[in-house]
Amino acid sequence: MTKRPFLKATVAALALAFTGAAMAQNKPVKFQLDWRFEGPSALFLQPLAKGYFKDAGLDVTIDAGNGSGATVTRVASGTYDMGFADMAALMEFHANNPDAPNKPVAVMMVYNNTPAAVLALKKSGIKTPADLSGKKLGAPVFDAGRKAFPIFEKANGITNVTWTAMDPPLRETMLVRGDIEAITGFSFTSLLNLEARGVKTEDIVVMPYADNGVKLYGNVIIVSPKMLKENNAAVKAFLSAFAKGAKEAMANPKAAIELVKARDGIINADLETRRFQMAIDSVVASPDARKEGFGRVNDGRMALMASQVSDAYKTKNRVDVKAVWDGSALPDAAALDILPKKK
């Protein structure tokens, strides 16, 4: 081998070795979503697909979930390092498991408002929350809106409600059939599910909790306390990379949904684009989010939520706000300036 080819081969080998060493040094992070791959999961799939997590020194894997409660439990068990879950579910876990050694901690607010809503059909005569008194409502027993309904009930003077439980796929079907008169569910999920069952949008009444006196926070990024303590730099790197990707996803939802479709080929791209845009408008870039700033929380509002969840969920212990929230790993203000401009 002549000198020049030898040098080229040596440089190539060193570059390959360096790349391999760098990849080996990337910290593995197992992340679980709250639900299956749908429109809002583009917030997480964008930074993954664009390599922002890798650039931050992380080897991130993202898996679908089957409910916030399960995600909290799996992060607590150590099966996952981080996750995306409802703040109320996290609070409930803390208050009901005071002796659990690895209770997850919320480190970034993503859904500044809960997506929970009550939905009814106009033909039922239900127009406002007050009209729900004496009515028959339905939802899965673990549904966030159902569990928090006592807060909605108290805020709107509702009385004598009866409940029917069902599996999630039957919720909207039973409403359409008339088996129940109203349901609780995520607004951007149940509305589209009703449309898919032939109900016109103008024939649906949607009563978001956030618009009817219930200012609960929604989904947050959670992390195991062990990781937050021992790998704080990794948590900060994750949140910074996420914020960068989430900003891009919200700026171009249609393109971001193609990344969701890459993970679940059977989704309807147009439908999921609508779902994602609804989530952006109603809970990610809501008026409350713009007021408080993306990723952050208001201490007074969080304290009120802790008290409300303790009462509504009938937890064993009162929720300790200091134990469930830690904003120390949040990126700076410039990095958190990701919300789309008002139209």
Say how many Å lie between the first and final Cα of the chain, rounded. 64
HEC profile for 265-324? CCCCHHHHHHHHHHHHHHHHCCHHHHHHCCECCCHHHHHHHHHHHHHHCCCCCCCCHHHH
**H/E element, 53:** helix 52-55
pLDDT, tens digit, 9 for 90 and up, residues 275-314: 999 999 999 999 999 999 999 999 999 999 999 999 999 9
Other beta carbons less than 10 A from residue 253's beta carbon: 19
Q: What is residue 20's predicted lDDT score, i.e. its pLDDT?
A: 46
Taking the C-alpha atoms of residue 182 and residue 234, their distance in angstroms, rounded to an integer, is: 44
Helix, strand or coil, per DSSP, at residue 86: strand
The predicted pLDDT at position 17 comes to 45
| Helix, strand, coil percentages for the chain (3-state, nearest 5) | 50, 15, 35
Distance CA 150, CA 205 (A): 20
The answer to whether residues 93 and 76 touch, using CB atoms and an 8 Å cutoff, is yes
Same fold, 26-112+217-324 and 116-211: yes
**Does the pLDDT of residue 175 top 60, yes or no?**
yes
The dotted CATH code for 116-211 is 3.40.190.10
Which residue type is seen at 254?
Answer: K
Q: Where are the domains of the chain?
A: 26-112+217-324, 116-211
Interatomic CA distance for residues 290 and 284, integer angstroms: 9
Rounded Cα distance, 339 and 320, in Å: 29
Does the pLDDT value for residue 6 go beyond 70? no
How much is the pLDDT for 190?
96
Letter string b/e over residues 177-193, b meaning 16 or more CB atoms within 10 A of that residue's CB: eeebbbbbbbbbbbbbb
Tell me the sheet residues that pair with 182.
137
Query: CATH homologous superfamily for 26-112+217-324?
Result: Periplasmic binding protein-like II (3.40.190.10)
Q: Which residue has the tokens 């990701």?
A: 338
- For residue range 176-205, what is the model confidence (pLDDT) as tens digits? 999 999 999 999 999 999 999 999 999 999
Question: What are the pLDDT digits (tens) for 35-71?
Answer: 999 999 999 999 999 999 999 999 999 999 999 999 9
pLDDT (average), residues 96-103 = 95
